[in-house]
Every structure is written in structure tokens, then in C-alpha cells.
Chain A
Amino acid sequence: MVLFVVFALIAIVAAVGVIISRRPIYSALFLLLNFASLAALYIMLQAQFLAAVQVIVYGGAIVVLFLFVVMLLGGGELNDIRDTNRPFLQRFGWQRFVAVGLGVLMVAGLGYGLVTGELSAVQGDPAAFGQGSVQAIGSVLYTDYLLPFELASVLLLVGMIGAVVLARPPE
């Protein structure tokens, strides 16, 4: 329990570090620290499979790509964002309010789940976590949650096609 709190605090501090870091590369590294402490939290919840996948996907692939991009762009220090990047921020007028609204919605949803106990119900469920977690997750994913699972893959495909379209040279 003590360790859980420690890792949760590390995760929060790292998440704050992502936002307030001046250098993009430190932001990416704080993100890595955040993902790593989340993986530690998963292990303490007996969800070893989730922890391993967290490290493989987020730690091993996504943050590496972030670092790759940051290095390609130079990775210099961000100047005072309020002065030099004002035109950039002005392009996001209404989007900022939408983002705040969505964030509030997410916090409300999480809070609702925690208060009603629907989110904490699976804690300690031997079928979902523990020794057989890989088998349990696999069988649930390919039976009960097959449609959301396939939809998620379609979503990823859309992302890939979008990236190809954006990166294509103009004709």
C-alpha cells in the first residue's frame, strides 16, 4: 500500500513535469517516467500482463517515437509560449474550450465510476487479474468485447491512413 502511494505520487509528479518542462526532451522523459510508474501500479494490482504491455507499447514504442521526432526537430528550449507562440495559440480558439469541456467530462465520468464503485468492482477479481491474467484477458477480449476490439483496430487504421494522407507530397 505504501509502495502504491509512492508510485502514484511519482506518476503525478511526472505528469506535472510533462507539462511544465521547458525542453521537449525532458517532457518526453517525464512522460516515460509516468508510464513506468503506471506499469508499477499495474503490477501491484496483480495485473502483470497490463504492466508488460504498458512498458512494451508506451515505454518501448511511443515515447521512442516522441524522442525521435523531438531530436529531428532539434529539441531546443521552448521560448515563453505567451509571447512568441501567440499566433499558434490563436489558431486554437474554440478548440481550447472544447478540450476543457471534454476534460471535465472525463473527470466526471471517472468520479462517477469511483463513487458508485463500478470501477473498483474488478479489483481482486481472480479472473481479470492474477496468475491467469493473459488467458482471462484474451478470452474476454475475443468474445464479450470483440466488437469494440475490432472497432479500435479500425480507429488505428484511420489514424494510419490520415498520417499517410498528411505526409503525401502535394500533387
Chain B
Amino acid sequence: MDWINLVLIPGIKSVILVVVLLTGFAYATWLERKLIGRFQLRLGPNRAWPFGLGHPIADALKMIFKEEIIPARADKLLYVIAPALAIAPALLIFAVVPVGPGITLFGQTISLQVADVNIGFLWVLAVASVGVYGVILGGWASNNKYSLLGALRTSAQMLSYELPMGILLIALLLTTTLGTADGFGTLSLNQIVQMDRPWWLWLWIWIAFPFFFITMLAETSRKPFDFPETENELVAGFQTEYGSIKFALFYMTEYLHIIGACGVAVSVFFGGWRGPFVEQVPILGPLYFAGKIIALIFLFIWASASVPRPRYDQLLKFCWTWLFPVSLIYLAITAVIVTLA
């Protein structure tokens, strides 16, 4: 009985999660191409299957069967390891995100979350901060100056934007002290999703979302902050020398980061899987969750289609001289609110 709870159920959950995430990745690329096409008054992919739904599958097959090339002067070990180092953390982020309320199956209550650890919040920060290694090492091991510049940009960008992101998350953690009975607050994403907080506190939390969204764009290296690959300056940045399935892994990582960041943002800012009638019909939970994530991904694509890319020094200056102080002020005001309430 014990091994069912310890090994079998988490194993099945992990497999389902990975399959769903990878399918989500494939169709996130489809959604992006389709939407960007519409934003630019084009049709977007429409050849394979109705609405171009077969394009992600065709892309995947193409990537797998391309020839693999390792540059002669590359650091072979790191060059091969880097894509794996990039994608593993991207897949791990979702382990602590609750996608729905507990459901009862065969007389057992199964929580729709791979690991309900009480440090879920810190897990997200830890895994996100480790995710940068794949990009840095990939860029360095390629032995190409454009790749190296992309890798350097990644490390500076990630470190800088982690600060405002972390401080905004600390402010949100402070608000959880108003939702727990003992007044200690919690780091578990499951409890954060389930707790009830007063409506005015939600209004204050949503004020932080635009700032958090900016840090999300920078942390996932998405347009307009895609400096690690800036195609008009650095060819393709850190992934210039990568092809075939290794390039596909980097490509996957980018989209998995988006999905993961959206999952965390939905859990923290928008009540996760909660919605009308979800207590009566638990299966609605994952549907609400997916709907909220797709809405956020749409926001990502919208930003990438409509905002031009700044210069790299502007990006860092913006972070340190504006976003960071603003998030500190937000933290201070949140502390006052939480103390007075």
C-alpha cells in the first residue's frame, strides 16, 4: 500500500504532467505562430490539417530527423549536456503547481499536484534560478563569440530581474499571513491557492501584477526582452551553433518556461484552479486552470507582437533604477498594510 502512495501515484502524475507539458509546448508554438500571423495581418500556419493544427507535429518530426552537428572546436561534454540542463528545470517547475482540487479515484483522494511540499514557493525560485545554466553553458561551450555574448547577457539579465521578482514574491508571501489561521503565512502553493483573503487585499495584489509580468518576460527571455538570442545582433545568440533535436530542446525550454511562469502567476495572482462551481464539480478545476494559463500565454504573445525590443543597457538600467526600487516600495507598503490589517 505504501509504495502505491510513494512511487506509483507520483510516477503516474509525473508522466501525465510531462506529456501534457510537452503537448502544451507544441501547441503553444502553434498558438504563437497563429496569433502573430493575425497581429501582422497574415493567416499564419494553415497547410497541415485544418487551422494548421498539424504543423507542430511536422515540426517535431523535422527536428528529430535533421543531422546533428557538433562544432569541431566546441567543448563537447558541455555542448551536449547544456540542452538537458536547460530543459530539466523547466519541466521541474510545474511539480509544485496545483492544477486542481483533490479528486477521489478508486476510494483514494488524489491531489492534482505532483509534490505538495511546504516550500513550494522557494522551489519555484530555486528551480527558476538554476534554469539559466543550460543557456550559459550552451553559449560558452559552442566556442562562438555570438553564443558567448548571448550567454553573458543571459546571466546578467536573469540575475538582475530575479531581484524585483523575488521582492514582489516576498510581498505576496506577506499577504498570506492574513489568510492562514496561525498568522504565520505559508510557502505552499496549494495552501496559497486555497486560502481566502479579503477583496481589498486582492486589489492590492493585482497592482503588483504588471511589474511581475515584466520580470516574467525578462526571466523567460521572451520578446521584447529576448536578449540572449537577439537575432539582429547575435545571429541566434546562445543557440547559434545548435541544430536538430538539441536546438529543439532549447526551443522547448523557452516555451516550458513561459508555461511554468504562467502556472506560478496564475496560482499566486489569480487563484489557481478556483472558479465558480469548482467545489461541486472538481473536474472543472483543471479546466479553469488551463483557461487562465492560456489567457496569460496570450498576454505573452501579445506583448511580443506589439512591443519593440529596447537596447540591452536600457533593459538593465530599467531593472536597477526603476523596477527594483518600485518593488521595494511595494514591499514596504505591503508590510504596513499587513501589519495594520
Give residues in A with beta carbon < 8 Å to B.
25, 29, 32, 48-49, 52-53, 55-56, 59-61, 64-65, 67-68, 71-72, 75, 131, 134-135
Complex Cα spacing A135 to B125, Å = 18
- Residues from chain B with Cβ under 8 Å of A49 in the complex: 119, 122
Are A53 and B130 in touch, CB under 8 angstroms? no
Are A134 and B158 in touch, CB under 8 angstroms? no
Interface of chain B residues 27 through 85 with chain A (CB within 8 A): 78
10 cross-chain pairs, A with B, having the tightest CB-CB distances, nearest first? A60-B129, A52-B122, A55-B126, A68-B155, A56-B126, A48-B119, A135-B184, A52-B119, A52-B126, A64-B155
Are A55 and B130 in touch, CB under 8 angstroms? yes
Complex Cα spacing A131 to B151, Å = 38
- Residues from chain A with Cβ under 8 Å of B258 in the complex: none
Are A61 and B148 in touch, CB under 8 angstroms? no
The stretch among B132-140, B282-290, B305-313 that forms the contact with chain A is B132-140
* Dominant secondary structure at the A interface: helix
* Dominant secondary structure at the B interface: helix
Are B122 and A53 in touch, CB under 8 angstroms? yes
Residue among A49, A71, A131, A135 having the largest count of chain B Cβ atoms under 10 Å: A71
Interface presence of B214 (CB below 8 A): no
Are B136 and A64 in touch, CB under 8 angstroms? yes
Interface presence of B207 (CB below 8 A): no
Are A71 and B129 in touch, CB under 8 angstroms? no
- As a 0/1 sequence over residues 204 to 248 of chain B, the CB contacts with chain A under 8 angstroms (1 = contact) are 000000000000000000000000000000000000000000000
Complex Cα spacing A21 to B187, Å = 39
Output the nearest chain A residue to B125 by Cβ-Cβ distance: A56
Interface presence of B118 (CB below 8 A): yes
Query: Nearest chain B CB to A102's CB is how many angstroms away?
Result: 30
